[in-house]
């Protein structure tokens, strides 16, 4: 079991740990609901060091990623981020990832921990025609996220974290756009700061050298004290991302799902001359292939992954993720259902351990922050 460079910090904060993709990571520190609420109303601090970072450098880096991934990464402006997909030849999703144009002829690919090796293997297998270098930086880097309405104020007040002209290229935290990134300095080390996230709130993700992780984590916690910052575990992260309608690999996404079925058709630049999976994407999913929908269920019992979705006596789909929404107060779920039942307003049932619970198809996301 791998441990984050922040493991001892988590233990000292009283974290309960869970095994996740070969890593021992905090599932919660205090209470899932309190941590969830902190992110919606103040801020939460997350250790995401288990996520995989792969650097792609070289003159052909953009052209290579255009072929290797579903999106058009060569068009990504410097210091912008893009959500993308790694597909197999049959159009199935090997992983969903965030790609940063981190420097000239340099990209940082951030993949799910559970798919790290599959992503590295696929990228290596696709690099033959290109002048690129790939490096798996997962163990060199720590990833810390600050998410929530107070996130920017907390970063502004974090001792040792500063803008330096040679790194920031004129950007400041105030003007940094969503899905954009900038270099900052953490004491004497560079830290790559991105305004991205997975919680539906404003927030930042900080990539630092693993050796700086503990000091930065402590500085963020100290700066956050006055702003209601709480350390948050994977349990809160899961309910937050579900409310925000964000797919989770292994639940909403898999090799058996084409992007279009998961509502991710826009992440595929179908007009690119060549990319892995192109023929399958052009052919499209079968007419009866299941599609991802949001469900709002009645009562207090959560539909959970793999529970059947019913229409009359017919099983028309299955839940992929579900929870009693902490923010909304009612049960929500994502499910893959037959396309006949995808329209918002459609009333279906979920088989909750033998009891039929009515659930209405609703648009995603379930929760959207106020602007």
Partner 1 sequence: MSVPDDLQYTAEHEWVRLEGDIATVGITQYAADSLGDVVYVELPAVGAALAAGAIVGEVESTKSVGELYAPLAGEVVEANQGVVDAPETINSDPYGEGWLVKLRVSEPPALMTADDYRTLISA
304 binds partner 1 (CB under 8 A): yes
**Interface pick for partner 1 out of 272, 301, 338, 342 (rule CB under 8 A):** 301
Q: How many CB atoms lie within 10 A of CB 240?
A: 27
> Cβ 323 to partner 1, closest distance in Å?
6
d(CA 79, CA 102): 5
243 binds partner 1 (CB under 8 A): no
What residues numbered 85-144 form the site for partner 1, per CB under 8 A? none
- Interacting stretch for partner 1, rule CB under 8 A, among 58-66, 244-252, 266-274, 318-326? 318-326
What residues numbered 151-170 form the site for partner 1, per CB under 8 A? none
> Cβ 34 to partner 1, closest distance in Å?
8
Q: Find the DSSP H helices in the chain.
A: 7-12, 32-41, 61-68, 116-125, 151-156, 165-168, 213-224, 234-243, 278-283
> Cβ 21 to partner 1, closest distance in Å?
17
- Interacting stretch for partner 1, rule CB under 8 A, among 25-33, 80-88, 211-219, 244-252? 25-33
**Interface pick for partner 1 out of 2, 20, 24, 31 (rule CB under 8 A):** 31
- Interacting stretch for partner 1, rule CB under 8 A, among 27-35, 52-60, 175-183, 340-348? 27-35
Question: Is-contact 90 277, C-beta < 8 A?
Answer: yes
**Interface pick for partner 1 out of 268, 302, 336, 348 (rule CB under 8 A):** 302
Question: Is-contact 144 46, C-beta < 8 A?
Answer: yes
**Interface pick for partner 1 out of 169, 266, 300, 368 (rule CB under 8 A):** 300
28 binds partner 1 (CB under 8 A): yes
> Cβ 286 to partner 1, closest distance in Å?
33
What residues numbered 330-369 form the site for partner 1, per CB under 8 A? 353
**Interface pick for partner 1 out of 2, 3, 24, 33 (rule CB under 8 A):** 33
Q: DSSP letter at 169?
A: T
Q: Helices (H), strands (E): how many in the chain?
A: 9, 21
**Interface pick for partner 1 out of 36, 50, 82, 126 (rule CB under 8 A):** 36
d(CA 283, CA 335): 24
What residues numbered 179-238 form the site for partner 1, per CB under 8 A? 235, 238
> Which is nearer to partner 1, 141 or 335 (by Cβ)?
335
- Interacting stretch for partner 1, rule CB under 8 A, among 45-53, 201-209, 254-262, 319-327? 319-327
**Strands ordered across the beta sheet of 161-162:** 161-162, 181-186, 189-194, 203-209, 141-147, 43-47, 229-231
Mark residue 105 as left, alpha or beta (left: phi above 0; alpha: psi -120 to 50; beta: remaining): left
Burial 266-304 (b: 16+ CB within 10 A, else e): ebbbeeeeebbbbebbeeebeeeebbbbbbbbeeeebbb
Q: Which of 58, 79, 241 is nearest to 135 (CA)?
A: 58
Task: Convert 128-156 into a string of H (helix), E (strand) and C (coil).
Answer: CCCCCEEEECCCCEEEEEEECCCHHHHHH
Residues that bind partner 1 (CB under 8 A): 16, 27-28, 31-33, 36, 235, 238-239, 300-302, 304, 323-324, 326, 353
């Amino acid at each position: 079991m791998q441990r984050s460079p922040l493991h001892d910090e988590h233990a000292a904060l009283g974290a309960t740990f869970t095994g996740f993709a070969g890593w021992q990571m905090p599932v919660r520190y205090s209470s899932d609901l309190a941590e969830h609420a902190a992110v919606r109303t103040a801020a939460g601090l997350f250790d995401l060091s288990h996520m995989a970072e792969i650097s792609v450098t070289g003159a052909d880096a953009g052209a290579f990623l255009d072929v290797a991934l579903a999106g058009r990464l060569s068009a990504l402006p410097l210091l912008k981020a893009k959500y993308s997909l790694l597909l197999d030849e049959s159009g199935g999703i090997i992983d969903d990832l965030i790609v940063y144009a981190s420097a000239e002829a340099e990209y940082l690919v951030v993949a799910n921990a559970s798919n790290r090796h599959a992503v590295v293997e696929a990228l290596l297998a696709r690099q033959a025609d290109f002048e690129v270098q790939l490096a798996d930086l997962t163990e060199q880097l720590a990833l810390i996220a600050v998410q929530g309405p107070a996130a920017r104020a907390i970063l502004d007040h974090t001792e040792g974290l500063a803008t330096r002209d040679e790194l920031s290229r004129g950007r400041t935290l105030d003007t940094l756009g969503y899905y954009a990134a900038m270099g900052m300095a953490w004491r004497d080390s560079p830290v790559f700061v991105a305004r991205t996230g997975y919680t539906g709130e404003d927030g930042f993700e900080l990539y630092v050298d693993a050796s700086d992780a503990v000091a930065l984590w402590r500085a963020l916690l100290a700066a956050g004290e006055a702003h209601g910052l709480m350390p948050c575990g994977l349990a809160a992260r899961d309910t937050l991302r579900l409310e925000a309608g964000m797919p989770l690999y292994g639940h909403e996404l898999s090799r058996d799902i084409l992007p279009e079925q998961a509502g991710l058709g826009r992440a595929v630049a179908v007009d690119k001359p060549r990319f892995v999976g192109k023929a399958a994407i052009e052919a499209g999913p079968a007419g009866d292939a299941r599609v991802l929908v949001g469900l709002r269920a009645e009562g207090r019992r959560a539909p959970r992954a793999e529970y059947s979705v019913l229409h009359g006596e017919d099983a028309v789909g299955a839940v992929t993720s579900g929870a009693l929404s902490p923010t909304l107060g009612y049960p929500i779920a994502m499910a893959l259902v037959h396309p006949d039942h995808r329209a918002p307003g459609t009333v279906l049932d979920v088989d909750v351990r033998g009891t039929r619970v009515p659930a209405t198809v609703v648009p995603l996301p379930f929760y959207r922050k106020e602007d």
